[in-house]
Amino acid sequence: MTESYQLKRADFIFKNENDWEEVMSKSFSRTPQELINELISSELKGRGGAGFPTGLKWKLTAEVVGDTKYVICNADEGEPGTFKDREILSMVPFKVLTSMAVCGYVIGAKEGYIYLRGEYFFLLPELNKAISEFEYYCKEINVDFTIRIFMGSGAYICGEETALFESMEGKRGEPRNKPPFPSDFGYLGKPTVINNVETLAHTYTIFKYGAKRFYDLGVQYSRGSKLFSVSGDTPKPGIYELELGMSLYDFVDEFGDGDTKAVQVGGASGFLVPRKRFQETAIGYQGKLVGISLPTGGSMMLFNSSRSMYNVLDNYLEFFREESCGQCTPCRVGCQQLLKGIKAVKRGEKKTQYLDKLLRLTDTMKLTAKCGLGQSVANSFSSIVENFREEMIY
C-alpha cells in the first residue's frame, strides 16, 4: 500500500476566518488572470459532487462578454447524508462571502446570490448579519458587489444548477437542457458562475495560502482536502476534513463500529461499496488510480451487519420517486417502477430474474434521463442489487 492511500486529516475550512478583509484586499490587488491561474494550478474541483474544475469554470465565464453576470453560491444541500455546507455557513460565513466577491471581480459580476435550502431557514438571521457587515466593508474599499439570499422551498432537484436557476426565476425547479452551460446562459439567461458552498470556502484557502499549499494535499487527479459528512452506524458521526485519495479501508478503520458491512459513498445518488471492496476503493475523482475511485459530495453513510440493504434501497428509491421533478419520462416512471419492482420481488410476486430487468431499466435511465438525478439512480440501485442480491429476495 502506498502512502498516498492513507487517511490524513486536514484543517483549513473551519480555521482562521478573521483575516477575510486581508484576503479580500490582497485578492483584489491581483489581476483576474492571476487569480484564475492560481485556481487552475491548485486543481480544485467542484465539491458539490460533480467535480468540475473550478478554475476553468471561472475562466469560461470571465471570457464571455456581457454587462450583467452573476455569482451564485449553491447552498441547496439536499443529498441524503450531507450536512457540511450548513456548518460552513454557520461557522465561517465570511470565507464564502469573500470568495463570492473575488469571483465577481474575476468574472465581472456585481451581484451574488446564496440559494439556501428552505430547511436551513434558521440560518437566515446570522447570515444576513454577516452579509451586511460584508457589504459595508465592500463599500469602504470601493468594491461594487451585493449579496442576496434566495430561499428554496423543499426541493432536492433545485440543487441541480439549472433547476436552481429556474427556481430563482420563479418557476418549477425543472432542469434545463445542457448545453448551453451556465457560463453562457445561467440565471436570467446571463453568464453565471455557480459554485457549491464548500468549493468557495476552498478558494479562500487557495487565495490565502497560494495554490501549492492546496495542491500538495491529496493525490494525483484528486488534489486538496474535502469535508466528509459521516453518519450511520459509526461511533463518531460528524463533519471531518480529510485529504482526498484515502482508501475506504482506512476510512472504515477510523470511522466504522467494527462491524461495517457496507458504505454508501456520495449519498443516495452515489455508490454502495461492500466490505470486500473497501481495500481497492479510493475516495477521489476518477483518474488513473489503481482500483476503483469514487467521487463524493462528502456523504459517507456506514451500515453495519444489523442493517437490511433492501430497506436501504427501498428508502433511497422512495426518496428519488418523491424528488424526481417529473418532467422527463425515464426518471419519473423509472423511479416509480424500480420501487414497485423491488417490492414485488421481495413479496415473491415477481421472479428473482425480474431484478435483471430492473437493472436494464436503470441502464436506460442512465442514458436517457435529462439530468443528474435520473442518471444517478442507477448508481445506488445497481451497486446495491449486484452486491446484496440475496437480501433483495429473501
Partner 1 sequence: MNPVSDLIKNLADQHGRNRKNLLPILQGVVEQEKYLSEYSMIEIARELDLPASEVYGTATFYSFLEYKKMGKYIIRICKTITCSMKGKNQVLLAIQDMLKINVGETSSDGNFSLLQTNCLGFCHKAPAMLINNEVYTDLTPEKVRDILSGYLKKK
Nearer to partner 1, 117 or 366 (CB): 117
> In whole angstroms, how close is the CB of 156 to partner 1 at the nearest point?
6
Tell me how crowded residue 258 is: count the other CB atoms within 10 A of its CB: 9
Site for partner 1 (CB under 8 A): which residue of 207, 255, 316, 381?
316
Site for partner 1 (CB under 8 A): which residue of 229, 247, 260, 293?
229
* Integer angstrom CA distances of residue 94 from 22, 25, 88: 12, 14, 10
> In whole angstroms, how close is the CB of 340 to partner 1 at the nearest point?
19
> In whole angstroms, how close is the CB of 235 to partner 1 at the nearest point?
12
The residue range among 37-45, 93-101, 308-316, 371-379 that interacts with partner 1, by the rule CB under 8 A, is 308-316
* Integer angstrom CA distances of residue 217 from 176, 242, 311: 35, 9, 37
What is the residue whose three cell numbers read 482536502? 225
Q: Containing H/E element for 351?
A: none
Enumerate residues 363-392 that contact partner 1 by CB under 8 A: none
Q: Whose CA is closest to 196, among 110, 108, 100, 324?
A: 100
Nearer to partner 1, 51 or 267 (CB): 267
Residue 25's DSSP bridge partners are none
Chain centre to alpha carbon of residue 76: 10
Length of the chain: 394
Contact call for residue 361 and partner 1 (CB under 8 A) = no
* Grid cell at residue 25: 484586499
The residue range among 15-23, 219-227, 233-241, 364-372 that interacts with partner 1, by the rule CB under 8 A, is 233-241
d(CA 372, CA 256): 30
Contact call for residue 140 and partner 1 (CB under 8 A) = no
Site for partner 1 (CB under 8 A): which residue of 311, 329, 352, 364?
311
Contact call for residue 86 and partner 1 (CB under 8 A) = yes
Enumerate residues 107-126 that contact partner 1 by CB under 8 A: 117-122
Nearer to partner 1, 168 or 265 (CB): 168
Tell me how crowded residue 118 is: count the other CB atoms within 10 A of its CB: 13
Nearer to partner 1, 84 or 202 (CB): 84
Enumerate residues 169-188 that contact partner 1 by CB under 8 A: 169-173, 188
Residue 292's DSSP bridge partners are 281
Q: Containing H/E element for 159?
A: none
Site for partner 1 (CB under 8 A): which residue of 55, 182, 232, 334?
232
The identity of residue 150, as a single letter, is F
> In whole angstroms, how close is the CB of 122 to partner 1 at the nearest point?
6
Binding map of partner 1 across residues 264-283, x = CB under 8 A, - = no contact: ----x---------------
Contact call for residue 156 and partner 1 (CB under 8 A) = yes
Query: Where would I find the H helices in the chain?
Result: 20-28, 32-42, 54-63, 84-91, 93-107, 124-140, 161-168, 197-209, 211-215, 248-255, 309-323, 329-347, 354-368, 372-387, 389-393
d(CA 7, CA 97): 30
Q: Which residues bind partner 1 (CB under 8 A)?
A: 77-83, 86, 117-122, 150-156, 167-173, 188, 229-233, 237-239, 268, 301, 303, 307, 311-312, 315-316, 318-319, 322-323, 325
